[in-house]
Amino acid sequence: MDPITLIVLAALVVVLFYGITLYNNLVRLKHNVSKAWANIDVLLKQRHDELPKLVETCKQYMGYEQQTLEAVMRARNSVSAAREAQDVKALGQAETQLRLGLGNLFAVAEDYPDLKASDSFQHLQSRISGLETAIADRREFYNESVNLNNVRIEQFPDNLIAGRFGFKAADLLEFDDAEKADVNIKALFG
């Protein structure tokens, strides 16, 4: 073989290995997004299972607060539907409503000393608060994974491989402005 043919073959082999490396990196990023979503999903399911227990405990003490309890359960159902559909945008909106509902529920619980003293309520409140913290942590990891994925599929030359093999951008898990705003303590206790 002549030297020019060897150089061309060597260049093709290098380009082929470079393309394979880019493809494998994109696959890894895509699966990191899926893994991060699965981590959030597990926590959402756990919280989904705990909320009816909390509402039932509160019903025993808060007979006149049906609207607050129903709002939490409606929001819980919305979160569940968005989670099952893997609709990240709808999940962000539903999460906002659920967090506001829980905030209202815990604020209203302040008016019921027997409820606040209940071991069951304290345990469930602590458990749900812990799950909320874990969801926030996992949401941060998920959004970072989505960001890394989305940047890579837009960068050159990764975008050539991503477009050819159908890699898609993922949605960030964002909450509505109401979730990010400061809590109006006066309105909660007024």
| Burial call 73-108: b when 16+ CB within 10 Å, e when fewer | eebbebbbebbeeeebeebbbbbbbbbbbbebbbeb
CA dihedral 81, 84, 86, 88 (to 10 degrees): 40
List, in order of start, the domains of the chain with CATH numbers.
Answer: 18-189 (1.20.1440.20)
H-only helix segments in 87-118: 88-109, 113-117
For the chain, the residue count is 190
Both structure tokens of 168: 């898609």
d(CA 29, CA 35): 10
Q: What end-to-end distance do the CA atoms of the chain give, in Å?
A: 88
| Sequential pLDDT tens for the chain (190 residues) | 799 999 999 999 999 999 999 999 999 999 999 999 999 999 999 999 988 888 888 887 777 678 888 888 999 999 999 999 988 889 988 998 998 888 888 888 888 888 888 888 888 888 998 998 999 999 999 999 999 999 999 999 999 999 999 999 999 988 765 444 444 434 443 3
pTM of the model: 0.76
CA dihedral 34, 36, 40, 46 (to 10 degrees): 80
